[in-house]
Structure 1
Amino acid sequence: MIRKHIIAHGRVQGVGLRFTVTGFAKKYNVTGWVRNLYDGTVEMEVQGLDHRVELFLQELSSDRPGGNRFIRIDKLDITNIPSVNVADEKGFRARY
């Protein structure tokens, strides 16, 4: 079980990235959250089995994440962080 903290830079707000990321999380059965930050970036934490988190990151890193032509991710800052108790985090959600 691994957990990653991710900051997405680029055209990432107002283009459906939070919705797209939530779909990736359901597809790969990972938990965590995603939210917009005031500086125009999107922050997220993703936790799950190593290979599922890696598949999530591969899809997020694609040219057109989720087939959305409006999302443009220029850079992802990815950091390993400690996992949280699975009982405390049941799914993946967008934070506001």
Structure 2
Amino acid sequence: MTAPQEASDTECRRVVARGVVQGVGFREACVQRAHALRITGWVRNRLDGSVEAVIQGPPATLDLMCEWLRNGVPGARVDALQVQPLARPCRNLGSFERRPTA
């Protein structure tokens, strides 16, 4: 069992992916990758055709997730990836889940 992460080791980021990101399994791939990286947060489609995610974890792991979001989703084409740090403290997210479209 791993020790709980210290708050200083955890960051939150809001990520918005634009391009061909809906209808290609982007959210499900995101959930699987987040579980593999052991980060928490959520992902959802947006009515404007983008995909939005909030990711939480160690900064280096979040960097890996952001790089994967740019290039790693089969069938997707990410034309723009906006990454915005969220102010601390951010609410502790216990898992990574897919949320309904907003």
- TM-score band w.r.t. shorter chain: 0.7 to 0.9
- 1:73 aligned onto 2:78: yes
Counterpart selection for 1:94 from 82, 95, 98 = 98
TM-score between both structures, scaled by the size of structure 1:
0.87
Q: How many residues align?
A: 90
Task: State the one-letter code of the partner of 2:39.
Answer: V
Counterpart selection for 1:85 from 81, 91, 100 = 91
Task: State the one-letter code of the partner of 1:90.
Answer: G
Could you say what secondary structure the match of 2:22 adopts?
A: coil
Unaligned runs of 5+ in 2: 1-9
Which residue number in structure 2 is paired with residue 30 of structure 1? 39
Could you say what secondary structure the match of 1:84 adopts?
A: coil
1:61 Cα offset (Å): 1.6
TM-score between both structures, scaled by the size of structure 2:
0.82
Matches within 5 A, 1:6-45: 6-45=15-54
Unaligned runs of 5+ in 1: none
1:58 Cα offset (Å): 1.5
Cα shift readout 1:32-75 (whole Å, capped 9, x = no counterpart): 0000011100111000011111111121122xx24x1x211110
Structure 1 outlier segments of 4+, above 4 Å: none
Q: Percent identity?
A: 31
Task: State the one-letter code of the partner of 2:94.
Answer: K
